[in-house]
Amino acid sequence: MSHQWWRQAAIYQVYPRSFADADGDGIGDLAGVRARLGHLRDLGIDAIWFSPWYPSPMADAGYDVADYRDIDPTFGTLDEARELITEAHQLGIRSIVDVVPNHCSDQHEWFKEALGARPGDPVRDRFWFRTGRGPLPPNDWQSTFGGPAWTQVPDGEWYLHLFAPEQPDFNWDNPEVRSEFEDILRFWFDLGVDGIRIDSAAMCVKDPELGEIREGEPHPYVDRDGTHEIYRAWRRIAEEYAEPRALIGEVWLADAERFARYLRPDEMHTAFNFDFLGCPWDAKALRKVIDDTLASHAVVGAPSTWVLSNHDVTRHVTRYGRADTAFDFALRGARHGRPTDLALGTRRARAAALLTTSLPGSVYVYQGEELGLPEVEDLSDEVRDDPMYTRSGGADPGRDGCRVPLPWSADLTGPSWLPQPPSWAALSVAAQQDHPGSMLTLYRAALAGRRALAGPMTWLEAPADVLAFARPGGFVCVINLSAAAVPLPPHEQVLLSSGSLAEGQLPPDTAVWLRTIDSPA
């Protein structure tokens, strides 16, 4: 089943700018990743997902791609990427690249060509150029980053950008766009990558009439029925390889049934579980998300994924240390800087690590999660770089706080494109490396331990606000989300615990893996 590795893989997200800096300019690079592959091997992951590493003006931290077939010089060269992929393979680690199909950079050759052409020229048809309504843009769509989704060019036409103005949206009704991306996929697959992460995957296809968003009607640019044909074509390409490449979608959709349609056997292999990511630290809510996830994925035969953090959301150590533990983009500004009990958040994050790594399916680890890094909430305005911050006029703090470079050693005096808080010295890899009680040690043990797990999960009876489930072979995971310690169920052995267990009791916000007396199957 090695060709179905994506069904149970542990995938580590590398955000290249902030992972490891080898040349000392304060920005991460591929040489840095290569130098730290040992960290990832020791952590016990199966694959790395690289956030965009392409040439980019970095208007949206690389999600504005100027050339889909090269590496940004800040990060290194294509040869280095090739070597990195090979070296990772030698350690048994697969590579996943981030493909951004909804939009490119305004510095992409195609967009520059479109700007240089006249209205009506076919090269403009690769994007969404339209005339306005008098002085107004063609419609009232808003950019995800704030402000209108249209920008006017000197000849009077407007172009669509669902994100920043530097990120013009491609027109997926244009066959050239389709064949270009199919070729980009082949380029990376031929180079040896094992899969792709598909950015903003449900947004590519637009209503050609550019209709407004109306309750009860298909959304004009999210989850249009026509989107599926794109990924069916990509799946066919992925299947052309001796070891089929994996397609992993970034699909933010509230409707579980619509979400699961992307995971039908001839479309993507897996997609990120944002319902789980956003779920509050609450036993009933978590159980419901887990049940709903398993049920909706079972219908299409796809494995579920378990995700706690990524480069777009408030780090979960911080979220779990607040009164409101859920993640919600709309509320992020309001919650930013709220009182946070980081000790509590860390305790819960440790318990959550045992939960996510023992559920059936694949699991994602966002760089720094294995160190228990909190969100950096006190970045100064001058260093903030995220368009979400600038375009919201500061109302949304943006995503820089989860993108601060990783602390490798306790000496944090070197350059860093976002400053590392002094408190991170104690959270550095060097500080945690050989420490039995550290988050890093816990992640290593959990990722090693999960390799023995296979088969479905079954809920077990448990006290109120305690979750307990079994996996075949006598494995039990218990997570105490209640306010009081509870007795451990009968067991033969404690395999791993996220906190200390006093006198056979599982304290609040603590999880444990047990080996039980299992009836032989």
Out of 29, 46, 60, 166, which residue is the one contacting ligand GLC (CB under 6 A)? 60
Closest CA to 199 of 244, 231, 238: 231
Q: Which two tokens stand for residue 32?
A: 């840095």
Q: Which is nearer to ligand GLC, 100 or 263 (CB)?
A: 100
Q: Which is nearer to ligand GLC, 64 or 157 (CB)?
A: 64
Q: Which is nearer to ligand GLC, 53 or 475 (CB)?
A: 53
Q: Which two tokens stand for residue 428?
A: 């550095």
142 DSSP β-pair partners: 148
d(CA 62, CA 17): 9
Closest CA to 495 of 378, 357, 394, 307: 357
Element (H, E) at 114: helix 109-116
267 is a catalytic site residue: no
Shortest Å, Cβ 197 to ligand GLC:
9
Q: Which two tokens stand for residue 76?
A: 């290194």
Q: Which is nearer to ligand GLC, 100 or 349 (CB)?
A: 100
Out of 63, 127, 159, 272, which residue is the one contacting ligand GLC (CB under 6 A)? 63
- Write out the DSSP string of 166-199: TSPBB-TTSHHHHHHHHHHHHHHHHHT--EEEET
Per-residue burial over 105-139, b = 16 or more CB atoms within 10 Å of its CB, e = otherwise: bbbbebbeebbeeeeeeebbbbbbbbeeeeeebbb
Residue list 379-438, contact with ligand GLC (CB under 6 A): none
Query: Which of 46, 169, 199, 375 is an active site residue?
Result: 199
Closest CA to 346 of 510, 492, 462, 192: 510
d(CA 202, CA 221): 8
**439-449 vs 342-358: helix axis angle to the nearest 10?**
10
Shortest Å, Cβ 180 to ligand GLC:
17
The answer to the question of residue 163 lying near ligand GLC (CB under 6 A) is yes
The answer to the question of residue 199 lying near ligand GLC (CB under 6 A) is yes
Shortest Å, Cβ 235 to ligand GLC:
21
Residue list 313-372, contact with ligand GLC (CB under 6 A): none
Shortest Å, Cβ 271 to ligand GLC:
13
Q: Which residue is nearest to ligand GLC (CB)?
A: 63
The answer to the question of residue 166 lying near ligand GLC (CB under 6 A) is no
- Binding string to ligand GLC for residues 240 to 279, with x set by CB under 6 A, is what? ----------x-----------------------------
Shortest Å, Cβ 181 to ligand GLC:
15
Shortest Å, Cβ 311 to ligand GLC:
6
180 is a catalytic site residue: no
487 DSSP β-pair partners: 505
The residues, ordered by sequence, that sit 6+ positions from 122 with a Cβ below 8 Å of its Cβ are none
Out of 33, 45, 84, 100, which residue is the one contacting ligand GLC (CB under 6 A)? 100
Q: Which is nearer to ligand GLC, 63 or 158 (CB)?
A: 63
Active site residues: 199, 240
Per CB under 6 A, residues contacting ligand GLC are 60, 63, 100, 163, 199-200, 250, 311-312
